[in-house]
């Protein structure tokens, strides 16, 4: 997997987790939901990249 894409996907997942925790702490349900969605997006992209790498080898 390209290191840049991996780091970007991990960063998106971490950013989403931070949003989720912050939203939960301040009682902002919208921010919490956006954070969860961002985590799912980062995880999905990570899985897609891993699948691409597996097919290349």
Would you list the domain boundaries of the chain? 3-56
pTM above 0.95, yes or no: no
pLDDT tens string 2-57? 778 888 999 999 999 999 999 999 999 999 999 999 999 999 999 998 888 888 86
Cα separation of 57 and 43, whole Å?
22
Cα separation of 35 and 15, whole Å?
7
Alpha helix stretches (DSSP H) within 1-57:
3-26, 29-56
- Structure tokens that stand for 15 in this block: 């950013």
30 with 20: CB under 8 angstroms?
no
Residues 6+ apart with CB under 8 A from 24: 32
């Amino acid at each position: 997997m390209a290191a840049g894409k991996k780091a970007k996907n991990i960063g998106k997942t971490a950013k989403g987790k931070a949003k989720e925790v912050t939203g939960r702490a301040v009682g902002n349900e919208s921010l919490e939901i956006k954070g969860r969605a961002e985590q799912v997006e980062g995880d999905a992209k990570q899985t897609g990249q891993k699948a691409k790498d597996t097919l290349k080898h």
